């Protein structure tokens, strides 16, 4: 990559993780398509996994006060998510991911339409608990195969209409632990070399710069505004998925 391309990649990382600091979402869904344009999907997924782990751990600790209210959904999600991640990493290294990108983009757009038709509608707690395990498995498959689990995790927790602290904590926990599982699995299967590790560590620099600013802005948003900001990030991620899948 020349200097201009490097700046573009760093700008994409900064923008993606700024959105993540505000809403708990962003990062990989917004940065991976840009990096993949220059280096391929497998390279992009492996590199962005490193700053994503940093950002998710940071947000998880920052919003840990919501843990008691979210724990009952997270435990079954994490158990099945680990299994799904192992399958997803195998898929990443063996199949073309364009079809999956298109399906995920369509799924997210359908959810956005469903929300906008009735913004007050939410999933009941009992139903949400039943859906936690399958959502975790689907999220694990996605994060292993594409580096992105937001299409499942974010839509699941957004449907519960959580306030910002609860939502950011809820999505950061599976993002963090499934991301660590993804890194370990990629390393075990030969998905990392010195160049990829170095690129991943360099990508942490814009994350460290933008995350505190973004968190400060996010805390000032009302619940209603926050819900629509999350929806906007989901919509942008859906468009990026469709673009990469159909391009």
State pLDDT tens for residues 131-187: 999 998 988 887 777 767 777 888 888 888 888 899 899 989 888 987 888 888 889
For the question of whether the overall pTM of this predicted structure is more than 0.85, the answer is no
192-194-200-203 Cα dihedral, nearest 10 degrees: -160
237: pLDDT strictly greater than 80: no
Which tens digits make up the pLDDT trace of 90-140?
Answer: 877 676 667 767 777 787 788 788 778 877 777 777 888 899 999 989 888
How many structural domains compose the chain? Answer: 1
Q: What is the CA radius of gyration of the chain?
A: 17
pLDDT at 247: 67
Average pLDDT over residues 60-64: 93
Domain extent, residue 16, equals 3-246
Token pair listed for 239 = 């468009």
- Between helix 164-188 and helix 125-146 the angle, nearest 10°, is 40
pLDDT tier for residue 2 given thresholds of 50, 70 and 90: low
pLDDT at 56: 93
- Share above pLDDT 90 across residues of the chain, in percent, rounded to a whole number: 19
């Amino acid at each position: 990559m020349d200097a201009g391309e490097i700046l573009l990649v760093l700008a994409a990382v900064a923008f993606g993780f700024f959105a993540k600091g505000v809403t708990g979402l962003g990062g990989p869904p917004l940065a991976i398509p840009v990096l993949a344009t220059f280096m391929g999907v497998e390279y992009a997924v492996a590199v962005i996994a490193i700053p994503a782990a940093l950002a998710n751990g940071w947000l998880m600790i920052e919003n840990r006060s919501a843990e008691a209210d979210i724990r009952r959904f997270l435990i079954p999600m994490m158990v099945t998510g680990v299994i799904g991640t192992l399958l997803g990493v195998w898929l990443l290294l063996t199949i073309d991911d364009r079809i999956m990108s298109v399906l995920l983009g369509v799924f997210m757009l359908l959810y956005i339409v469903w929300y906008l038709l009735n913004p007050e509608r939410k999933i009941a707690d009992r139903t949400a608990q039943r859906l936690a395990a399958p959502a975790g498995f689907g999220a694990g498959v996605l994060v292993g195969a594409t580096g992105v689990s937001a299409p499942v995790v974010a839509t699941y927790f957004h449907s519960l209409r959580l306030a910002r602290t609860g939502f950011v904590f809820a999505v950061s926990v599976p993002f963090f632990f499934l991301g660590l599982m993804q890194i370990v699995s990629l390393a075990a299967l030969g998905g990392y070399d010195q160049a990829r590790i170095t690129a991943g560590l360099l990508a942490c620099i814009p994350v460290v710069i933008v995350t505190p600013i973004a968190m400060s802005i996010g805390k000032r948003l009302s619940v209603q505004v926050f819900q629509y900001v999350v929806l906007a990030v989901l919509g942008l991620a859906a468009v990026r998925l469709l673009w990469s899948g159909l391009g």
